[in-house]
Amino acid sequence: MFELSWQAPYDWRWMFGFLQARAVTGIERFEAGSYTRSFEYSGHRGVITMTPDTSRQVLRVTLSDDLRVVAEPCLTRVSRLLDLDCAPQAILDTLGPLAAARPGLRLPGSMDAFEQGVRAILGQLVSVSMAAKLTGKVVAAFGEPLPDSPGFFLFPRPEQLAAADPLKLKALGMPLKRAESLIFLANAALSDALPTRAPADIALGMKTLQSFPGIGRWTANYFALRGWQATDVFLPDDYLIKQRFPGMTPAQIRRYAERWQPWRSYALLHIWYTDGWAP
């Protein structure tokens, strides 16, 4: 077992609630205060169990046997997923009253950028629960089961989705154009056209993503937020954000949000999850 520390405050109830609402059957499982998910790195595969110990301010991480060989990159991905390296006080100082209601809120990242890209595309124009169900269907159809972990699958690798029949994907419950978007994304991951880490120029990276078929501005921003865990992304044309800023255009909202640089991603989450907030 390994232990990873974090700086307080950390709202574990919120973080686990966020991830559990989006949990994909076959990939993720929540039980007894722990989060377990399948993972593959460099040919090594298994499951990772994460359990926060709030009294000691550490996250206990258990890796199945084959993943222990690649423990360091696995722990790095866990830290990125759960934003364990965050220095919260600097963010709280910048956000001020906006962060007062949830000072322990963190930015949920991802274990794998390609996986997050697939999930972002499948989440377009559907509810969170429907997106999770559809992603579970893709996992069941194209993922590989883990023999040593009954009920768990590996998330489909880029080469598996790149070779997929778009009509087979469509039959799972998505528009054909969305199926074609997934295949394009898989090919982009194979050719390294899809950056797996945050590029130096996030804005340019998001423009590149928008050149991919089926990826508009909102999806590109959301992918940057979670797939790259970019800390300074804001979505001024998001439906809920526009509701929070009544009477303001996206351009006005964007200018208003400049006060929260370089932590606009955290500001976005606080606005999303603070009922009744108003500028």
Share of the chain above pLDDT 90, in %: 94
Q: Which CATH class is domain 113-144+154-226?
A: mainly alpha
Instruction: Write a three-state SS string for the chain.
Output: CEEEECCCCCCHHHHHHHHHHCCCCCCEEEECCEEEEEEEECCEEEEEEEEEECCCCEEEEEECHHHHHHHHHHHHHHHHHHCCCCCHHHHHHHHHHHHCCCCCCCCCCCCCHHHHHHHHHHCCCCCHHHHHHHHHHHHHHHCCECCCCCCCECCCCHHHHHCCCHHHHHCCCCCHHHHHHHHHHHHHHHCCCCCCCCCCCHHHHHHHHHCCCCCCHHHHHHHHHHCCCCCCCCCCCCHHHHHHCCCCCHHHHHHHHHHHCCCHHHHHHHHHCCCCCCC
What's the CATH code, domain 231-279? 1.10.1670.10
State yes or no: is 238 an active-site residue.
Answer: yes
Q: Which CATH class is domain 2-86?
A: alpha beta
Active-site position among 83, 112, 232, 238: 238
Comma-separated ranges of CATH 1.10.1670.10 domains in the chain:
231-279
Residue-by-residue pLDDT tens, the chain, 279 positions: 999 999 999 999 999 999 999 999 999 999 999 999 999 999 999 999 999 999 999 999 999 999 999 999 999 999 999 999 999 999 999 999 999 999 999 999 999 999 999 999 999 989 999 999 999 999 999 999 999 999 999 999 999 999 999 999 999 999 999 999 999 999 999 999 999 889 999 999 999 999 999 999 999 999 999 999 999 999 998 999 999 999 999 999 999 999 999 999 999 999 999 988 889
Comma-separated ranges of CATH 1.10.340.30 domains in the chain:
113-144+154-226
The pTM of the full predicted model, rounded to 2 decimals, is: 0.94
